Structure 1
Amino acid sequence: MPLLKRTTFPLLETPENLDPNEKVFQIRFTKEIFRDYQEYLNRLNLYRQKVWTCEVSGKSNLTYEEALVCEKQAAVKAQQLPKELIAPVLRMIQQYRTLSFTDLLEKVYSSLQLDPFEGLELHAKKDGSEAACKILKVIGSGSTKSCEVGWLDQDNAVVNTSLVKADDLIRKKAPASRNTLKIFIRDSTSKRYPWIVNADLAKKYGIEIEPPEDIMNGEGLYQGMKRFANGEVASKKLKKDEKLVELPVKYPIDDLLVKPATDDPVLSKRPPLSRDFRVPIDSVGDLLMVWDFCLSFGRLLCLSPFSLSDLENAICNKESNLILVVEIHAALFHLLIKDEGEYFTFLLNKKKILKVTLVTWAEYLCNFLEMIRKEEFSSKVSTIRRGHYGLLDTGLKLKVLRELVEEAITTSAVREKLNEWIDQQQALAAAKREDARKNREEQKLNMEGVPENGRNYTDTMQNDKECPRNQRGGKEEKDLNILLSSKTGDGKTFLTP
């Protein structure tokens, strides 16, 4: 079911006491029934907004109906995983359930490339040459691991068997692509951390899904930011008699915490919104999205920084091979091909040479538009293929770039970069919380120590003034004599009587 703000959106139940002859309003793709027309319109408008996320693939910025179609397509792709790999993959998911999704995906992908599994078809060395075989049984472990393989003929039937060392196995391609594994993991698990295999799959393949004790106790899970500590609110308001003490600045810090310098201009009012764009006003969001993505991931894409006006001018230009436009498209295509996802598989099926150049970039763009299969782009493929990309509508160019960026966001490289930035942000927040805790402890010690000493000293002086000199005796008189003592030049001390 499509997600709204990363949470499941419940459908409305059928109204009670519904008369079969009663006229009602029904949404076609959800089968929800409404008696009130305004409620029907409000719900339909919500479904038409691009705020939905595919629950299986994680693709966002979709309408509800587009998310439903995406889920069906992703479910079909999840079934493309070879049957002999399903059980090993599910066991690895359950074993590494506490990892982040990116780490889990990389762990499963690398294990499939390195470790042998029963039922896996690959090649092995036989009599000095390579021959197709199928692993029937894995024997041993570690460096002594060997496999009993069945040699295959042209009809993929096992002719005879023999024992082969694991080092003699030859993999000419990965057993499954990252994109297939990503969709399978999302489709077969709880879709949130920790990744628990669905009960029906666990029962079918004999996988234990009971969580370990550390997860049950909360020790194995990431502990989020706590707002309460020992029953007290972590952030307390200052008392009226307390003064705010400015702490020394420790870099790096958040941009919002940087204080303006004395010569910086005073920003008392928010500047007016800019509407001076050459692109249509409804395409400004796509323009900003593409520009921000290229700047944020410039190093990953090997793109030099460029201004927003440069991108706007390049998009609005009627020339087909502008350098900036070609470089942006080529960088995105290189990223998608390197990820070995759906676009990579699509190009392999068409037997394309995986090299994007100034001449061939338009053909790669046509292949991408054919892959996503959207009606608004299908009629423009022939125009682009003839070399007339510059004649496309400006809004359509930005929509194409938006589709490319949305596809690029799902790649492993971008996800790893995002996770790295998130980890840095969390580490910075943890360091700030630790500094704040130490400062609170220091202030607490100062409040408990210094005022008490000052108060004792004041009380002593007040008692001295109230007591007459002739009534002091014993220890009090001795203390007073010590306070009034003076020293001479030869170091001798005399007490005043």
Structure 2
Amino acid sequence: MVLFKRKPVQFLPPVDMQDENTEVWHIPQTGEIFVNYEDYLSRMDFYKQRRFNDQITGHSGLTFFEAFNSELTGGREVEATFPEALKGPILRKVQFQTVSRLDNLVDLIFDEFRHDYYPGEEVTVTLNGGDRIHGLVRDKTTFGPRMQPDGSRTLPVTRYLVNLKETDEETIVTDEHIGRERGVFTKAMLRSFIKKTVIREAWTGAPWLVKHDYANMYHIDTRVPPHLRYDMKLLERKQLQAQKKCTGHEINGHAQAGPVRLPELKPATKSHKGKQNQPGFKAPKWYLAESVSGIDGTELHEQQARQPTPPPPPPPPSPPPKYPIEDLALPPKEGSFRPRLKYLCRDPPVKIEPVLDEFHPFQGKINMATVGAFLETWDTLNVYCEIFQLDSFTFDDFVEAMTVASETTPVQLFDEIHCSVLKILVDSEKEGGKVRITLPDLEDDESDEDDGDQDEGEEEDEDTEMQTPEPEEKPKGRATRSSLAKLEAERLAAEAAAAEEEEIRQEQESRTRAEELMREFDWIDHLRKRDFGSGGWERIIVGLLHQLSKDARHKEICEELLVQLVPQDTEPTQEVVQKNYSKLDVNHRVMVLQVICLLTMQTKAVRGYMEDCSETMTKYRKDRIEWQRQKKQAMEEVRQLYEQRRELIPDVDPADEVDMSASKEEDDTKITTADESRIEREDGNEGANKEGYQAKGKRRGRPPLEKTKKKEAEAERERRIKEKEKLKGQDKDRPQETIKLTPQQQKQYTKILKEIQKREEIIKKCEDEVAIIENDLREADCPRTRVLGKDRFWNRYYWFERNGMPYGGLPTSSTASAEYANGCIWVQGPDDMEREGFIDGPAESQMEYKAKFQMTVSERKAKEENGTSVFTARQWGYISEPEDVIALIKWLDPRGFNELKLRKELTNYKDRIVKHMQNRKQYLNSVSGVGETGDNEDDKDNRDDRDEQTTKRVSSRIRDKTPETASCRCLRWENTMALDELGHLHSNPPPPPRVRKQTKKRDAQAEAAGRSSTKSRRRG
């Protein structure tokens, strides 16, 4: 059944209609009938929400109809694939089970039936010789446990009568020699079968019930036992609560002193006598006065009543809040400011003083609107660099290459990026030339040719029309005044839309000449041939943009780019396109790259890479669990060994030495125990962590006292360390006390120490392997960029090296010596919903916030962000100084939900972030001698050994191309991955095949043929 919010969809009850001629609306999938059209539309809107789940497959985010069809398909697959012989026994076992979680139920049933077989089931029998033969179970006999003479019991034995298919013979085998084929009975199949055939009500302790049609099919009793019904469970719960109230009842703050009694069913009387008889009851004072002095207690009570009653005690102070809470609910701190942000743009969202930073002079050419595109494209190209066959590159080199590349300054990084991305969109001719993306259809402009073809075929069409009878006209509905007006309005709207579209098309055609440029140029065919030279890839991009402009989603941006590349006042030639692309503004360049990078996400190569990474991550997680299990086992063994050592030598001080009594091994008689085991240090750390966890829980209630305790504990720890060091210094010259051991104890002690050392090496190896697997998991996590977290103003913080790539880029990259990839923390503003809901909220909430904290949220944001803010998700700032990372961590308040998580992430990666920021500064300030890139020693030390001829060829090419641009860092980058895997760059054609050397025999034959031809010519 289809689920909505994890519960089955409840259909509407049938409508009671008096008149059979009433017009109704029907939903065939649910059988619901509606008399009112608005109700029908409302129900259809509900069913078309993408909030439904398919119960069988578990797919979510579907409409009701998609989930319904998916369940039908999944149900048919389950019925066809699940073994028929197991359906009845499994359903009988599942009936009335009270296991709450489906996963636990599946595990329980699977473990019970995995080695149990039933008549009619196809199995595999292992014969005595080891041969495996397919067979069919005919009968099953189970023998219970038998009593042995020594009083023990044997295990139950099951024998199966199996009909062998190959020989058509019958044989009796036990469960040790019988089994199923792999994939016949799995947990996934069992889960789907249970989901399809079993239901469970939504209350705690509800039993699993087989659906009625399956219960009738397999003759399963559906009568629920009384103790499993909801009313009985409810009654038991009420009785238990009543008993708890009676047994835990207290009077005047004193617990009952007598024995626990069952609750009385009769109502208690209102007399004081009944209250007096209750154990633990404290009598009023006027009863005591009456019994002592004989004075009437009533008069004393009246005198007390005349006295003025004391004022009620003040209410107790409200308990302190339990942290974490909402970040903006915390009061602002005086003098606490976030580090100032920097901006990679010429139009920052706030007015700041111009500062020359590492991006100068490029920041004066970049718009804020394209900073996000820069980050998106750089991240995509580096995460999927193996798919694109690109060396990884730093973000600074990417910005520089996109900015400085021109006709006079060719940049290999710029050309390789575009060509490698284009290659992913269309396969080469050798690979079949298949287009890997979905493209809109181009309009047919061959109307003249079509008209000629139509004229030639008019006569045949006329003959065909004479022979074909005309269909009868359908009766038209009644034309009313409103319907005629509606038709007229629709006609006028269609004409206006067509006229507007035609006007826009004509205006666009007048603005660009892309249509003329593509008239005799098939960009897909040229892309198949990898025709990238002499402006080829630039023209291919124009063709791609021209075809994408026919799609409404890409129309606006593609037309804007085409106006820049093929304007109306230029000739539509390939040379002009190449020239215009070399002069293109950097903002338009990154927009082009963003469009084609987004298209690669549709390709089979990228999607297959994502799936491979997902499977690899699953394998890594299993390996991590196995290494953690081995580590835990080794730690337990070390603890046991340490206990044995302490039993052998009790109260051993770390400064003591152990003296063995064996005289022949004098050197081994004194064994120091100054170095404690690693496992003891880990125990100490675990204890500290537990104390910290408990302290954290206490700090929520009484933070000042907890801070004091923490400081006292730290001071005490430091005092003990100093005393220990002092005692060690005093005892250096003293003769060490020794503990004498027998030779047998010495041997045992030495063996224990060796075992401890061996286990510690295993633990160290497990920790190293887990760390490697954690890093591999981080690098394989490529589908999406992970955010570090959000701050109190809902700004998002990114460190792009966090996942999907090595921390410093590929180690085989030509610029691996930089040892960083991005090197900055990027801050993105809040999205529109967060900004409207939390920052620029309604006036009432702003006034309420101002009354509480003497400032609005916007004013607090401007103050605490130190004059450098980002206000929308399309605005970006960055932090590049190592000291600013420390200041940012100090500024974050761990008492808030958002900043607690962000602070934790920043603390975990702080050392790496700071290191990469330092590497970035060192790289940007490094020696800028790129004119001799080919012979740069630093590059040679950080590259893999390649073929000497290839290195010389690439080096000479770079020297020839860029003799005058020695100041550009991006020119140091080379695409060594393409050179190693393809033998050439993406932007260059493949080298011609080598001429095969002829053998001596072929040389002799060719020489003889040459002599004979010469003789014949002479004779002629």
TM-score, normalised relative to structure 2: 0.24
Q: Which has the higher contact order (CA 8 A, sep 6+)?
A: 2
- Rg larger in 1 or in 2? 2
TM-score, normalised relative to structure 1: 0.46
